[in-house]
Amino acid sequence: MSNAISHMDLSHDHFIDASGLLCPEPIMLLHNAVRDAESGEVIKMLSTDPSTKRDINRFCEFLGHELLSEEEQGDEFLFWLKKV
């Protein structure tokens, strides 16, 4: 039995639909959501811009937030991050 968390089981406190937006807009929306979130809350983000895969990893590394999971479904990218 795997200990991996199913993406369907990841709850979230905030949701960002950045589909159709291009860099830097998805990260700007994420930055605003993180600013408004409380410490420990989870933000789920949907994006269609492939550059968000790189940008969200860098965002989390730079600001110290925890990237809980990421998933690619065709041309959509899903991310779950926890505000520290």
> What percent of the chain is helix, strand and coil (3-state, nearest 5)?
35, 30, 35
HSE on the CB side for 52, CA within 13 Å?
31
For residue 11, CA distances in Å to 5, 24, 50, 60, 72 come to 11, 26, 23, 19, 18
Extract the tokens encoding 4: 């991996």
Known catalytic residue at 60: no
Residue of 7, 14, 19, 23 with catalytic role: 23
Residues annotated catalytic, as ranges: 23
